[in-house]
């Protein structure tokens, strides 16, 4: 099963940005964690990160015809603003899961709104890196062949 992992803006700054919230580990460490989790679950992980909304929309659209069977998405700040990313997820119609490293519902009120989440079948927040493993597992159990 081929799963696309989409990471939004500033996640490439992990290990530098707001370490009291996001921890000390850098983006490479997150990618290694996702690759290891995918291998353990027997799924193929294709990881994409961009700071640009349109690039994220383009990558989601490409998933429609590149053999992707599920999407794990942490849209980062675009979670709370982007109807375009929501529409892209709806357009391709692939099973999707929303992930956030932090517990977005326990932070500022504006982080409680999630547009992308409206197109997702499950959501893992506040679990740090492990949220990605849980999302991959959810897709491997709930989305194969859909």
Site for ligand DQA in 1-20 (CB under 6 A): 10
Is residue 111 a contact point for ligand DQA (CB under 6 A)?
yes
Binder of ligand DQA out of 38, 79, 89, 94 (CB under 6 A)? 79
Q: Which two tokens stand for residue 85?
A: 């990313």
CB of 144 to ligand DQA, least distance (A): 26
Q: Which two tokens stand for residue 47?
A: 């990881």
Report d(CA 3, CA 110) in Å as an integer: 29
Nearest C-alpha neighbor of 132 from the set 16, 40, 52 = 40
Report d(CA 40, CA 78) in Å as an integer: 30
CB of 146 to ligand DQA, least distance (A): 25
Convert residues 39-78 into a mask of x (bound to ligand DQA by CB under 6 A) and - (unbound): -----------------------------------x-xx-
Is residue 140 a contact point for ligand DQA (CB under 6 A)?
no
Report d(CA 133, CA 3) in Å as an integer: 12
Report d(CA 81, CA 83) in Å as an integer: 7
Chain contacts with ligand DQA (rule: CB under 6 A)? 10, 74, 76-77, 79, 100-102, 104, 111
């Amino acid at each position: 099963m081929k799963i696309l992992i989409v990471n939004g803006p500033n996640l490439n700054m992990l290990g530098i940005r707001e370490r009291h919230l996001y921890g000390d580990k850098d983006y490479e460490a997150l990618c290694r964690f996702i690759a290891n989790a995918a291998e353990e679950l027997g799924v193929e992980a294709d990881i994409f990160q961009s700071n640009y909304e349109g690039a994220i929309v383009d990558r989601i659209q490409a998933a429609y015809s590149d053999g992707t069977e599920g999407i794990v998405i942490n849209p980062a700040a675009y979670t709370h603003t982007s109807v375009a990313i929501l529409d892209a997820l709806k357009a391709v119609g692939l099973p999707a899961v929303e992930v956030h490293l932090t517990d977005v519902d326990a932070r500022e009120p504006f982080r409680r709104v999630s547009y992308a989440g409206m197109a997702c079948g499950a959501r893992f927040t506040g679990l740090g890196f492990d949220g990605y493993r849980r999302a991959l597992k959810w897709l491997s159990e709930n989305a194969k062949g859909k």
